[in-house]
Structure 1
Amino acid sequence: MSRAVSRAASAADGKQRFDAAGRRVLLVCVAGGFTTLLDQSVLNTAVPALRESLHAQPAHLQWIVAGYSLAFGLALIPGGRLGDVKGRKWFFVSGLALFTLVSLVSATATAPTVLIAARLLQGAGAGLVNSQMIGTLQDVFDGQLRARALGMYAVTGGLAFALGPPIGGAVIALAGPELGWRLTFLLNLPFGLATLALAVRHLPRPRPSARHADLDVLGLLLVAALTLALMLPFVQPPGWLGWLGFASLALALLATLAWWQRRYARAGGHPLIHPALTRSAPYALGTATAMLQFGSSLAASLVLTMFLQDGLGLSPMGAALVALPSAVAMGTASALAWRVVQRFGRRTITYGMTGSALAVATSGLLAHWAPTTALPWLLALLQLLGGASAGVMVSTNQAHVLRHAPAEAAGVSGAILQMTQRIAAAVAVSALSGVYLRHTATGGDHRTAYLATSLTCAALATLAALTSHLTPTTPAQHAPTPSPHPTPTRTPAP
């Protein structure tokens, strides 16, 4: 299989079409993305049930949820480099096999610490899988077809995130809390095994695209240490170091990381975060927008699910029905996003983030003051707004971010974008779930806790909208969008 796949056919109207071989490769990548990205969101509905079953403390729950994103993000760059050197197919298969196998461990865990370890391994496997998918799509497709393929991958991830809570709620409602939360992990088995079979048969044979690739181990360790410095004060009391001490440590690690990346690049190596990426204002600001959006969305979804079940006393199915409009709206908006982009251009991202911020803030305010009987209906309506807002901006933002990646760093730009989003999710989820869980565990009011966390998520979304608004406008950002899923049309293969 080669890039000739992407040039094999074109329609009479001038738009390129995927040929049979290309469609099979795309199917494998979309299936792998759906399987690994569904895992985190489907767990949200199961958190109250597994907490009771395993007698988990707030810190355990934070690690169970955030540890997956942390390991996922940290595995992306090493996985991509390994795929460059050895070929992508068998790393894809190995990562998915690890993810699927460890899902059995998660489903049968009898202690919180076992589940935490399993979630970290699952995240590492998912990161290895997704790094190969990004590289494979860039290897196999060119031009317009690459844009469409990457767009489908982005939209699939968004839909998996939106569909997770309703699916998890339905499983727990049918099977009961004790068995239900375990079955949410076992859902990975049929998806994983089917995708494995497709991958072995249809992915291109290993074709290394680089003779050698150095791995910036120190850069990776510094990123991990920085993430932990941001997470730990929320997972457990700051202790003798204090909040100021952790903040100072994080700033010192950030400065050290920036210095090391420049030094490593000057020495001829391939730094974890190529300095050219930080010099491109559209790429850097677009990545910041994506980080804020992803972190605030995952945290808001998790806290909403806990509030609906713990605060309002809804069943898992009831909580799932409240979240369902988000999935429907996101799927519909994603399909129509290209029309919005043609009308509003890059402002689509700003408008989408503004809608998300309004939806989350209003949810918190209504939860604090609205009567209990009407609240689930009102929250469901706001989920409709939030889902539609996310649907029009997620793949659109990815398109603009990667379109402006500097040529010398284009090969790693997609992996860096995903890594930063996952790390932002790990920090936001651990911080905001920690605020909610600790406030309610000490007898605090659920409505007050949900208001505080919702307003924080809304502030992050508002900052994302502002960051998007400040992103410089360049001619490339007004290029016509040729497909229903706008994504970069210029991304050299790694």
Structure 2
Amino acid sequence: MTLLDVTIVNVALPSIEGSLEAGPSELQWILAGYTLAFGLALVPAGRLGDVYGRRNLFLIGLAAFVVTSAACGLVQSGPALAGVRFAQGLAAGVLNPQVIGFIQDLFKGPERGRAFGLFGATIGVSTAIGPLAGGALLAIFGEGEGWRSVFLVNVPIGLVLLPLAWKLLPRPEKKPEQKGARLDVVGSLLLAAAVVAIMWPFVTSTSEGSGGGSGDAAASAPSPAWWVIGVGAVLIAALVWWERRVTARGGLPLIPGNLLRVPSFTFGVGVSTLYFLSFTGIWLASTLYLQSGLGLSPLQAGLVLTPFSVAGAIAATLGGRWISRIGRPLVVIGIAITVVALAALDLVVMTVPEPTVIWVAAGILLFAGFGNGLVISPNQTLTLARVPPIDAGAAAGSLQTMQRLGAAIGVSANAAAFFAVLAATDSYTDAFATSLRVVVGVMLVALVIAVVDWRRRSDVHESAVESAS
């Protein structure tokens, strides 16, 4: 439901823009603010789940998500929607790490890989339903105010899930090492401040004038405060110092230091962060290109994007079965397929005329989605494979925080590039092609890191074989 809310909102963006008279900066905040808040809550919520029980945090997060979804559907202005979306992101951030923590607790070995595969397939189905559901709701309720139903649809779903979760989720069992443990409040505040500082220039980098055709308006926009990233780096250093102090005093750190000494975790987080930074930024650009550039309705745009999500759901299920046998090469193959497909989409967008480009793009997105499905869930399995159960929530929260940080930067940076090219050329085709090139460039870096980890794992395996012989 939390990820359905991302794709379903993408389709509704033009409707929100018209109804609330929201400019490019507000649209960015509606998307990136949700992602930013999501990232702020993940690590503290994951640690709270470790200590006080994942069931309790899951129920709190789900209830809060229902309330904030209702509030999103009732607001009357762009800034108000951006603010409530931030609160909705916090609720999603409380909810999500508990799911991964449950998988870590309840499944072992190949079964865990299959569980993550089903989790990934669920994500794929959610993203597949999102554009179609959003388009259908806008078609039923009208593009003027129909966007409100996009948020309100979460309310009945959540009200059904709450009693089921209360009845079915296992109750927490407090472990000896968790007795007397409390949340690291100082560490949580330092992490939150660091994430906000690093994110701030990106979510404020597109001005009201950058979405239009006036180059003068774009040029007169205030420059983002890039120096704030330096403040974020200082805060991260302070967080590291504080966490070491907490550990030395026998406390329970927000981010366990031993996680950074697990190579599979650090490489996996690196791949995941860069991958999310790359591909999440394309959804805003593709929605604007299809609807504003090609004149498609929200439902038609959703149908064009659906092959990506459907193929991703199928591939995630298969990847969950294959990951225990194939390992890191499966992720390398997935990224490579996605890179080739998106590069081909760039070529098609620039050379194939309308309306043929719509059909060809949908076909290419099928391959891109299949590659995507071989990346996210399999990489998650590899990343968390050697994490001890006591740290499962913190590890899941850390992984998802970096994913959300990458996603928020990706959405904002990609939108900034899109609107800058649109302002300079007044061409949605050129703007979308630029977005695709940004995505492919960052994704290639993720591919390099995945290959390095593959070689590292191969070297470790060969050394172990030689030692045994």
Whether these two folds match at TM > 0.5 is yes
Match of 1:376 among 358, 380, 404: 358
8 Å CA contact 1:295–1:426 kept in 2: the answer is yes
2:29 aligned residue: 63
- What is the alpha-carbon distance in structure 1 between the residues aligned to residue 291 and residue 407 of structure 2? 22
TM-score normalised per structure 2:
0.86
Amino acid at match of 1:96: L
2:329 aligned residue: 347
8 Å CA contact 2:38–2:89 kept in 1: the answer is yes
- What is the alpha-carbon distance in structure 1 between the residues aligned to residue 226 and residue 105 of structure 2? 46
Decide whether aligned partners of structure 1 residues 225 and 130 sit closer, same or farther in structure 2, where only a CA change above 3 A counts. Answer: same
1:278 aligned residue: 260
Match of 1:72 among 38, 52, 64: 38
Decide whether aligned partners of structure 1 residues 147 and 170 sit closer, same or farther in structure 2, where only a CA change above 3 A counts. Answer: same
2:84 aligned residue: 118
2:297 aligned residue: 315
Write out per-residue CA displacement over residues 180-218 of structure 1, whole angstroms, 9 at most, x where no aligned residue: 211111221221111112012222234434223333334
State the shift of 1:352 in Å. 0.6
2:131 aligned residue: 165
1:395 aligned residue: 377
1:222 aligned residue: 190
Match of 1:463 among 434, 439, 445: 445
8 Å CA contact 2:40–2:195 kept in 1: the answer is no
2:467 aligned residue: none
8 Å CA contact 2:116–2:320 kept in 1: the answer is no
State the shift of 1:347 in Å. 0.8
- Structure 2 residue 172 is matched with structure 1 residue 190: no
Amino acid at match of 1:376: I
Decide whether aligned partners of structure 1 residues 176 and 476 sit closer, same or farther in structure 2, where only a CA change above 3 A counts. Answer: farther
8 Å CA contact 1:340–1:392 kept in 2: the answer is no
State the shift of 1:406 in Å. 6.4
Decide whether aligned partners of structure 1 residues 144 and 352 sit closer, same or farther in structure 2, where only a CA change above 3 A counts. Answer: closer
Decide whether aligned partners of structure 1 residues 223 and 375 sit closer, same or farther in structure 2, where only a CA change above 3 A counts. Answer: farther
Decide whether aligned partners of structure 1 residues 279 and 153 sit closer, same or farther in structure 2, where only a CA change above 3 A counts. Answer: same
- Kindly report which structure 2 residues correspond to 1:239-278, keeping only aligned pairs within 5 A, or say none: 245-278=227-260
- Structure 2 residue 161 is matched with structure 1 residue 201: no
Deviates more, 1:305-314 or 1:367-376: 367-376
Deviates more, 1:52-61 or 1:130-139: 130-139
State the shift of 1:253 in Å. 3.6
Q: What percentage of residue pairs aligned between the two structures are identical?
A: 38
Amino acid at match of 1:69: T
Q: How many pairs are equivalent?
A: 444
8 Å CA contact 1:166–1:321 kept in 2: the answer is yes
- What is the alpha-carbon distance in structure 2 between the residues aligned to residue 218 and residue 121 of structure 1? 21
- Structure 2 residue 260 is matched with structure 1 residue 294: no
Amino acid at match of 1:385: F
- Structure 2 residue 452 is matched with structure 1 residue 473: no
8 Å CA contact 1:403–1:476 kept in 2: the answer is no
8 Å CA contact 2:188–2:254 kept in 1: the answer is yes
Match of 1:361 among 343, 346, 349: 343
8 Å CA contact 1:87–1:206 kept in 2: the answer is yes
Write out per-residue CA displacement over residues 439-491 of structure 1, whole angstroms, 9 at most, x where no aligned residue: 4357632222212211111111111111111112169999xxxxxxxxxxxxx
Q: Which runs of 5+ in 1 are unaligned?
A: 1-34, 479-494
- What is the alpha-carbon distance in structure 1 between the residues aligned to residue 47 and residue 373 of structure 2? 31
Q: Which runs of 5+ in 2 are unaligned?
A: 207-220, 463-469
State the shift of 1:142 in Å. 5.0
CA RMSD of aligned residues (A): 2.8
8 Å CA contact 1:348–1:392 kept in 2: the answer is yes
